[in-house]
Amino acid sequence: MKHRSARSHVIFSVFLLAAIVPASPQSLKSEAPAPLHAGNNQALIDSFVGDHYYFFFAEPGKFHITWTWGGANEGFNVGGKPSFAAAFNPKTPGSALTPKNLPNGATYDGTVTQRTRVVVGVSPVNSKLVRQTTPYLLVATGNVSFGSAAAGPDPIVGVYAPKISFQGEPDLGAVKFVANGNIVTSNGGSGTWKLFDADTGIYAVTMGNRRMTLTLQRGRGLVDTTNKLTVFELQPKSASTDRLFSSVQTV
């Protein structure tokens, strides 16, 4: 695995967070966090989806994590705020991590004496009946390096329900995106998908004679990249109650 070091300074602004920005790849599984990137990591946390998990490596010396969130971006503003936590995974001798609250986020200052993996998690506003999505920005600076995503199927793989219909075309039924790039439907239809840009989660999808450019929203589905309408809604396997940071102070 190759790693790269980064030292950077980032200016945060509520205006930047309030804008619609491309989502950084994130993971919904604490046991398989997504790699954090150098610079700004921007995404939307969704009360109907769940937590986001990332990781990076703290190198010997000091490092700094800043997490900032903005106002409700989609759905209803139900009040409350998302939360954030960071933890060594595993903790090594000589490592220390100190959190601090901000009006619209949090910071963590840390030190390590040897290379140590750090896992961070973002939890959405607690609103199970009314959807609220909140934009956030996450940056790790100082003596840090960034890893690569674990090998596995593309995050688009899964079973979806069509949310729009096309005039003159039959209902698709359930739609399954298969790891080999094919699409199969319960009504006997077929298609293909291909990753166009990993950083923004954009895919080229073909169903019959129809070609679509869709953006993957992890845990939710595929939306039209232009008009933001949901085209395919992900069908969840089961609800997860896993909380990596249940014993870690969240801010």
pTM flag (> 0.85) = no
Q: Which CATH number fits domain 158-234: 3.40.1710, 1.10.8, 2.60.120, 2.40.128?
A: 2.40.128
Question: 133 with 66: CB under 8 angstroms?
Answer: no
Q: Report d(CA 172, CA 223) in Å as an integer.
A: 17
Domain 4-146 adopts which CATH fold? Jelly Rolls (2.60.120)
Residue ranges per structural domain of the chain? 4-146, 158-234
Going by C-alpha positions, the residue among 218, 196, 220, 221 that lies closest to residue 206 is 196
pLDDT band at 152 (very low <50, low <70, confident <90, very high): low
pLDDT at 167 over 60: yes
What are the tens digits of pLDDT across the range 195-219?
998 777 899 999 888 899 999 887 7
pLDDT reported for residue 197? 85
What are the tens digits of pLDDT across the range 98-113?
999 998 999 999 999 9
